[in-house]
C-alpha cells in the first residue's frame, strides 16, 4: 500500500478503507470475508494509505518473524495513515499489539469479521444499509479470478507442541456443508477454474458436527471430506486439497483422484519421520506407517503428487533421528517438500522440552534436507520430459505464458513455462508437451 497523509473528506464522499493482509491462505480467507462485507455496505477499498479514511491490518502471529512483520506493517500504517484497526492471529496473542502500538483504534483476533465491522462502524459510519447485490455473488477476493481458496473449517482440536494455532483460532468449527457448497457454486459460476480447499485440519472436516447430514439442492449430503469432495467434483473444475492429516479416512479420497474427480494432489504435513520426535511433537496420526500409506496411495493413483512440510532441529532431535528423516525422504521420494528449522514460538509447549539445539545446527539440518530434496525433485521432474499434460495458465508476460500443472499449487510449488506462447489468457486450460525441466519447474510447448 502506497504512502501519503490521511485526507480531509467531505461528508458526501464515499468512506474508504485501506486493507493490508498478511499470513496464510486461511488469513486471506478471513480478509476476503471482511472485504466482501465492506463492499456490501458501500465502503470503497483503497489501494493507498492516502486514499483511505482508515486502514485494516490483517496480521499473522504464528512465528517470531511473522510477529515482527505484522508489527512493522501496523507501524507503517499508523505512520502513513494514522487510523488503524488490527485483526488476525496477532490480535489473539495477548496485548502485544496495544503495548507496541497503543494508538491503534481497535484489535481483534482471527475470523472476527462481525467484530471488525463493528469497529469500522464506530470510526467510519457506513454509507447505507447492506445490500448484497452491490458486490459479486462470489464476494471480494484477493486471488486472481481463475482460482480461489475455499475454507471449510476454522480452528483445530490438536495440541502439537510446536504450534499455538488452537490458542489463536480456537477449536475445530466445521462450516455447514450446504454453506461450503453454495460458496463453491458461486465461485464456479463467477469463472473460477480451481478451488483450493483449506482449513487447519482438512481431514477432520465434520468431526465436531459428528458428520451431520446437511441438505444441498434438496438432497442429503454428509458433512464429511469424502462427500464434500464428491460434491465439489460436480462443478467440473480443479479441486485441490491442502493441510490433509494422514488419518486412515484419507484412503477414501485416493480413488476419487484416480477417477479424475479431484486433482491427484495431497498436501500432507508429515513434519518428521522419527516416531519419538513425532510423539514429542504430539502429532495426530503419529503412529501411522506413512511410507506404507504412500505406497498404497501410489498403487491406486500412480499420478498422485504428494507435498509435505518438515521441521529440522526439533528439541532433542539426535543425529540418528535426523538420519531417520533423511532416509524417509529418500524412500518416500515426495514430489514437493518444504523444511523449516525449528523456531521457538512464544506460548508453545515445545519451548520447555530439553535438548534445545543451537541455531546453526537447526539451520544446517534444514539446508541438508532441502539439498537432498532438490536432487529428488530434479529427478522426478526430469521423468516428465516428453509427457503431455494439461496446465492452467496463471499469467502471460513478455516471454510467454506461465502456467501450473495438477502437481503445482499456486505460490508454493513450481510452474510450467510456455515460452513464446502469447495467445492465451489467465484461466485457460492448455494441453502441452514437457520439453525440459530443472529442480523446481517444467518447460513445455503447446501440443
Question: Within 124-237, where are the H helices?
Answer: 165-169, 177-189, 225-233
CATH level 3 topology of 147-383: pyruvate-formate lyase- activating enzyme (3.80.30)
Residues carrying CATH 2.40.50.140, the chain: 387-446
Cα 404 from chain centre: 17
* pLDDT value for 126: 78
Give, rounded to a whole angstrom, the gap between the first and last alpha carbons of the chain: 41
Known binding-site residues equal 24, 60, 89, 156, 160, 163
Contact present, 402 and 395 (Cβ < 8 Å):
yes
SS3 content of the chain, % helix, strand, coil (to 5): 35, 25, 40
Residue 352 CA to residue 356 CA, distance in Å, equals: 9
Residue ranges of the chain assigned to CATH 3.80.30.20? 147-383
| Cα dihedral 233, 235, 239, 243 sign | negative
Q: Which of the listed CATH numbers 1.20.1050.10, 3.40.50.720, 1.10.1060.10, 3.40.50.12160 matches domain 16-123?
A: 3.40.50.12160
Each residue's pLDDT expressed in tens, for the chain with a length of 447 residues = 655 444 444 445 789 999 999 888 878 888 888 998 998 888 999 888 888 999 999 998 877 888 889 999 999 999 999 999 999 888 887 788 989 999 999 998 887 888 899 899 989 987 765 554 555 565 667 778 899 999 999 988 888 998 887 888 889 999 999 899 989 999 999 899 999 999 999 999 999 999 998 877 778 899 999 999 999 999 999 999 999 988 888 999 999 999 999 999 999 999 999 999 999 999 876 656 899 999 999 999 999 999 999 999 999 999 999 999 999 999 999 999 999 999 988 888 998 999 999 999 999 999 999 999 999 999 999 999 999 999 999 999 999 999 999 999 998 999 999 999 999 999 999 999 999 999 999 999 999
Helix intervals (H) in 136-234: 165-169, 177-189, 225-233
In whole angstroms, give the CA distance from residue 36 to residue 40: 6
Q: What is the pTM of this model?
A: 0.72
The annotation places the binding site for [4Fe-4S] cluster at: 24, 60, 89, 156, 160, 163
Homologous superfamily of domain range 387-446: Nucleic acid-binding proteins (2.40.50.140)
Q: Are 20 and 60 in contact (CB under 8 A)?
A: no
CA distance 152 to 231: 13
Do 273 and 292 form a contact (C-beta atoms < 8 A)?
no
Which DSSP string corresponds to 385-446?
A: TT-EEEEEEEEEETTEEEEE-TT--TTTS--EEEET--S--TT-EEEEEEEEE-SS-EEEEE
Does an H or E element contain 30, and which?
helix 25-40
**What are the two backbone dihedrals, phi and then psi, of residue 299, each rounded to the nearest 5 degrees?**
-65, -35
Q: Give ranges for CATH 3.40.50.12160 in the chain.
A: 16-123
Can you give the pLDDT at residue 7?
45
| Grid coordinates belonging to 188 | 464456479
pLDDT score, position 6: 45
**In angstroms, rounded to a whole number, what is the distance separating the alpha carbons of residues 311 and 234?**
37
Amino acid at each position: 500500500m502506497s504512502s501519503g497523509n490521511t485526507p480531509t473528506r467531505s461528508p458526501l464522499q464515499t468512506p474508504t478503507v485501506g486493507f493490508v493482509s498478511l499470513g496464510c491462505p486461511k488469513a486471506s480467507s478471513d480478509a476476503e470475508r471482511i472485504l466482501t462485507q465492506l463492499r456490501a455496505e458501500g465502503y470503497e477499498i483503497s489501494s493507498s494509505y492516502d486514499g483511505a479514511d482508515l486502514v485494516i491490518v490483517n496480521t499473522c502471529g504464528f512465528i517470531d518473524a511473522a510477529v515482527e512483520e505484522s508489527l512493522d506493517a501496523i507501524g507503517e500504517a499508523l505512520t502513513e495513515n494514522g487510523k488503524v484497526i488490527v485483526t488476525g492471529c496477532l490480535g489473539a496473542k495477548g496485548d502485544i499489539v496495544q503495548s507496541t502500538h497503543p494508538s491503534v483504534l481497535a484489535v481483534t483476533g482471527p475470523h472476527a469479521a462481525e467484530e471488525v465491522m463493528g469497529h469500522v462502524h464506530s470510526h467510519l459510519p457506513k454509507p447505507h444499509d447492506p445490500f448484497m447485490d452491490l458486490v459479486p455473488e462470489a464476494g471480494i477476493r484477493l486471488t486472481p479470478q481463475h482460482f480461489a481458496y475455499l475454507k471449510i473449517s476454522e480452528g483445530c482440536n490438536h495440541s502439537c507442541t510446536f504450534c499455538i494455532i488452537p490458542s489463536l483460532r480456537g477449536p475445530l468449527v466445521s462450516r455447514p456443508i450446504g454453506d461450503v457448497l453454495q460458496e463453491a457454486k458461486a465461485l464456479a459460476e463467477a469463472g473460477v477454474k480451481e478451488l483450493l480447499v483449506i482449513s487447519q485440519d482438512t481431514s477432520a472436516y465434520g468431526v465436531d458436527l459428528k458428520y451431520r447430514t446437511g441438505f444441498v439442492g434438496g438432497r442429503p449430503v454428509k458433512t464429511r471430506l469424502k462427500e464434500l469432495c464428491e460434491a465439489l467434483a460436480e462443478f467440473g473444475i480443479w479441486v485441490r486439497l491442502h493441510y490433509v492429516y494422514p488419518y486412515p479416512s484419507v484412503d477414501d479420497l485416493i480413488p476419487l483422484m484416480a477417477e479424475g474427480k479431484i486433482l491427484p494432489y495431497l498436501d500432507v504435513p508429515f513434519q518428521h519421520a522419527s516416531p519419538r520426535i513425532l510423539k514429542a511433537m504430539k502429532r495426530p496420526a503419529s503412529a501411522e506407517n506413512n511410507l506404507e500409506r504412500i505406497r498404497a496411495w501410489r498403487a491406486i493413483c500412480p499420478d498422485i503428487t504428494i507435498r509435505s512440510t518438515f521441521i529440522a532441529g526439533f528439541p532433542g532431535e539426535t543425529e540418528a533421528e535426523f538420519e531417520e528423516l533423511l532416509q524417509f525422504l529418500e524412500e518416500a521420494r515426495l514430489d514437493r517438500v518444504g523444511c523449516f528449522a525449528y523456531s521457538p514460538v512464544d506460548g508453545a509447549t515445545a519451548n520447555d522440552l530439553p535438548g534445545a539445539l543451537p541455531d546453526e545446527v537447526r539451520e544446517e539440518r534444514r539446508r541438508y534436507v532441502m539439498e537432498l530434496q532438490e536432487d529428488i525433485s530434479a529427478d522426478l521432474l526430469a521423468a516428465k520430459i516428453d509427457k503431455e499434460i494439461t496446465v492452467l495458465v496463471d499469467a502471460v508476460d513478455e516471454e510467454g505464458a506461465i502456467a501450473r500443472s495438477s502437481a503445482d499449487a499456486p505460490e508454493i510449488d513450481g510452474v510450467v513455462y510456455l515460452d513464446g506462447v502469447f495467445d492465451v489468457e489467465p484461466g485457460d486450460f492448455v494441453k502441452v508437451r514437457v520439453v525440459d525441466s530443472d529442480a523446481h519447474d517444467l518447460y513445455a510447448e503447446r501440443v
